[in-house]
Chains A and B, each alone.
Chain A
Amino acid sequence: AQSVAQPEDQVNVAEGNPLTVKCTYSVSGNPYLFWYVQYPNRGLQFLLKYITGDNLVKGSYGFEAEFNKSQTSFHLKKPSALVSDSALYFCAVRHSSSNTGKLIFGQGTTLQVKP
């Protein structure tokens, strides 16, 4: 069965410092991997996805994520955090051969960026 784990409920980082939000996944075969962000009182917004090719994926707002097949990880990173990055971040996985569109989400990680 497919699953996604986000091991940290909350990540705290100072503004200007690099940030990492961790995600590991379990899926048989090749995965499609996604990151979404949710700001307060809003729905989820797409940040980036990995389908195939270069393991380093660049997305919106300066975020990037690195696909590591051997470690089954897809950690979200940003070189320099902003206070406005504070939000709830979700990692999600879908099996590449899935034709039902069923996307499995992690439980979310709250990112708190302090000035």
Chain B
Amino acid sequence: ETGVTQTPRHLVMGMTNKKSLKCEQHLGHNAMYWYKQSAKKPLELMFVYNFKEQTENNSVPSRFSPECPNSSHLFLHLHTLQPEDSALYLCASSLPQGSGANVLTFGAGSRLTVL
């Protein structure tokens, strides 16, 4: 257990469904991240929040909607997804942005399958 918990671990949804991924950290970190991991591709940074404020949106389609109500929780709301969105979605947290030496702590990921 890394201190970053992601739920659900597995999710299967249709293209018209609406679902959410949840991430929670108990490390006292103030920065949280969503990454997309697809086979044989580099991890893709999707969103970054620093002290609940979004500081990075890496040209992510609007069918992905992040929410960060506080520094300990991060959500990824999903709607009208496409089959190519099937991937492992990783949440991470770190000390506040501003130090390039910060190490990210990752959750185990949510495996998403879009039918």
User: Footprint of B on A, CB under 8 Å?
Assistant: 4, 9, 32, 34, 36, 41-46, 49, 51, 90, 94-108
Contact = CB atoms under 8 A, between A and B. Distances in A.
Nearest to B97: A101
A43 B108 contact: yes
Contacts of B55: 100-101
- 7 shortest interchain CB distances as A-B pairs: A43-B106, A101-B97, A105-B43, A44-B106, A107-B42, A32-B100, A43-B108
Contacts of A105: 42-43
Contacts of A100: 48, 55-56, 97
B31 A101 contact: yes
Contact of A106 (B2, B42, B56, B108): B42
Interface of A is mostly: loop
8 contacts: A36-B104, A42-B108, A44-B90, A44-B92, A101-B100, A102-B45, A102-B56, A105-B42
A107 B103 contact: no
B104 A103 contact: yes
Interface string B38-66: 00111101001010000110000000000
B19 to A, nearest CB: 20
